[in-house]
Amino acid sequence: MTDWLTMTAGDLGRGIGAGEIDPVALTRTYLDAIDAHPLRDKIYVTVTEGRAMAEARAAQARAQAGRRLSPLDGVPISWKDLFDSAGTLTGAGSALLRDRVPARDAQVLRTATALGTVCLGKTHMSELAFSGLGLNPMTATPPCVNDADAVPGGSSSGAAASVAFGLAACAIGSDTGGSVRIPAAWNDLVGLKTTSGRVSLEGVVPLALRFDTVGPLARSVEDAALALAALEGRAAPDLGDAALTGRRLAVLETCAFDDIRDTPREAFEGAVERLRGAGAQVETLAVPELQEAMDLSAVLYCVEAYGLWRDVIEADPEAMYPPIRARFEAGRSFSGPDYVAAWAAVERVRAVWAEATAGFDAVLCPTAPILPPNLHRLETDGDYYVTQNLLTLRNTRIGNLMGLCALSLPTGVPSCGISLMGRPGGEHALLRLGAAAEAALA
């Protein structure tokens, strides 16, 4: 039964379907593992044991009657603490929302529950999702599976830790500038950033609505595909015969390798060679216009974030971690015309990007150009905090700015991921490509 804690969600679902795994025993195993884990309270904000066991008993009855609702019916998963859950504190990692208890579930949680997934509880996150580091002195900083002295990546930090430490079969997070892909990469998981607008944001605490997306952190590409299907209420793509032979991949040279550290660079280069060895055609690609969009990140993100949260922040500014508050308050320095002009420029660059990448199945880059930074230094060195936070999200932000779907895969080198960026709305094609890449990288 302890093997259940390391199995993929897909394998657990198949075991339930075959009558080999009892959903009640499976959920109890996960709940017991959570309760016994010394880092429990740094990973989970709330464990919803009553809800989980009730959902597991319902899944058990369906399985016994041969009426399972989906491949993940009866599989226990965790939810980032910005997805509303009825009657359960949903604070988005912020003391500003310490008393916030929603009356109903977020749409994605309702949809996944209707397909039989079991909600284990809510996981810790960066404050209001505005950091890629995962550091949160206001609530809790979850652990990194590869380095006890480092941050785990954010903002879906507890989501990644819940899976990496065997305390959830899969996790649901959100990604506004890299918040699924960074913690996935630094904890050796698969992370899927969906296209903006594809997955419902109803009942999701916002950061920047034009960039916010919902996506899974998982142990395999198949699990990411199954979780996306559960979030959307649709069928998952068939990954069975995915192959790299004849696929055209582009290594993005613009921006992505500036200031990169040796270990992520070498891990990426080794991964690309394995993809090439499995039959992929790999070329280099420069899109110099991309830099214009990257340079507009501050106005695009900070204006929207501050516009959404200004009144709440100004009512209780001391409730925030000062470096996070400063990121929000940076939105004050831009005007409405600045924001409108920035979006017009980004739309122009998106058109250039679409033309430049049209002949490729995916664009590749290192998920993060650095390894997880040291927790203590981030807390005590303000300049280090700022530079590491910006560098952490630099590569992943490309996918958000260009409006793409993107997938981070482990390279086999601890805390080093490779990012595959697809086309807007092209999640199913990207997941098929990702399954083939995963096999080559393994």
335 noted as active-site residue: no
Q: Which of 176, 208, 180 is nearest to 192 (CA)?
A: 180
Q: Is the dihedral of CA 215, 217, 221, 226 positive or negative?
A: negative
In order, the DSSP letters of 213-255 are: EEEEEESSHHHHHHHHHHHHTSPPPP-TT---TT-EEEEE-TT
DSSP tag of 69: -
- State the burial class of residue 47 (Cβ atoms within 10 Å of its Cβ: 0-12, 13-18, 19+): buried
Q: Quick check: bond before 94 cis, omega within 30?
A: no
- Locate 62 and state its tokens: 């369906």
155 noted as active-site residue: yes
Burial per residue of 132-157, b for 16 or more beta-carbon CB atoms within 10 angstroms, e otherwise: bbbbbebbbbbbbbbbeebbbbbbbb
Spacing of C-alpha 108 from chain mean position: 15
Kindly report the length of the chain: 442
- Locate 51 and state its tokens: 């809800």
3-state secondary structure of 96: helix
179 noted as active-site residue: yes
| Residue in 70, 126, 155, 162 annotated catalytic | 155
d(CA 424, CA 213): 12
Angle between helices 221-232 and 9-17 (to 10 degrees): 70
| Residue in 131, 162, 179, 297 annotated catalytic | 179
- What pairing do the DSSP bridges indicate for beta strands 406-410 and 190-193? antiparallel
| Residue in 42, 70, 78, 80 annotated catalytic | 80
Other C-beta atoms lying within 10 Å of the C-beta of residue 352 = 16
d(CA 206, CA 276): 39
| 8 A C-beta contact, residue 222 and residue 57 | no
| 8 A C-beta contact, residue 131 and residue 389 | yes
3-state secondary structure of 368: coil
Q: Which amino acid is at 279?
A: G
In order, the DSSP letters of 5-61 are: GTS-HHHHHHHHHTTSS-HHHHHHHHHHHHHH-TTHHHHEEEE-HHHHHHHHHHHHH
Spacing of C-alpha 106 from chain mean position: 17
Catalytic site residues?
Answer: 80, 155, 179
